[in-house]
Amino acid sequence: SPRFPNGLANSSGAVGRFLTDSTGLTVTGYIPRLAEGVPHNEDGVGGMHLYMPWWLDNKALDFPRGYHIEISGGRRAPSYGILGGIERVNGAGGYGKQLKDDYRKYYGSTVSFAGRGEMVPNDDSYCEIDPVVVDKYGIPVLRFHFKFTEHERLQAKHMQETFREIIHEMGGTPLTPMPAAEEGYGLATGGRIIHEVGTTRMGDDPRTSVVSGHCQAHDVKNVFIADGGPFVSNADKNVTWTILALSMRTSEYIVQARNQRLL
């Protein structure tokens, strides 16, 4: 429109920009001492995984930010899938008598280490309205552009080296080879971890941000964005609780501003 030539609440040009997702990869190891154990049911002893927070804050590393580790394994009742990568233990594959024997022998002997880390926002990761493609209702869809930088690739390298060292110290063997630098050290593609935030970032300066500290659009005072859009960065923590907290805070501010006739 003439009032908003760059789109609603986009005088800063920051709408759609600085999209981020969590970094992530997983390494699974076979631990011989856990093999051929007595079958038993561990259901009810814990949740999906253990959690190890970032432990190298303020250390001299070749990448910024950090990541946490999610550790999983055990002998809980199996779910759909191929049971912890057991088909990779001896190269027999995922079919037939050998696989069934491997299940009986190796189930519960694999331990997985998943890293989830912080991505640094960059100019090459953003979304925009697709000029051609529409959905079944005729509404234009979003077109995504995403790029990890050397920051995230070096973080992934650190994850790989750390997880493999832990597995070796446990007397085990990783089930997959170390990915090369050309493969991004196994870093999951953007959107795979589904912790996408950003695109309407929060800030005090309307020239460089979309919303205020109360998630209120600088340009349109009765527009509030109560989701993951206002995040200026994406820490290694899962974002849901922070989204809920910001939404509650924003809701309380709307009520207060309305009562004071500021809206």
* pTM (global) more than 0.85: yes
Q: How far apart are CA 158 and CA 114, in angstroms?
A: 12
All residue ranges of the chain with pLDDT < 70 are 44-49, 79-85, 91-93
Q: Could you read off the pLDDT of 105-138 as tens digits, one per residue?
A: 888 888 999 999 999 999 999 999 999 999 999 9
How much is the pLDDT for 209? 98
What HEC string does 74-131 produce?
CCCCCCCCCCCCHHHCCCCCCCCHHHHHHHHHHCCCEEEEEEEECECCCCCCEEEEEE
- End-to-end, the C-alpha distance of the chain in Å comes to 23
How much is the pLDDT for 84? 64
Q: Are 116 and 236 in contact (CB under 8 A)?
A: yes
46 vs 51, 203, 225, 232, 247, CA distance in Å? 12, 40, 36, 34, 30
Q: How far apart are CA 116 and CA 100, in angstroms?
A: 32
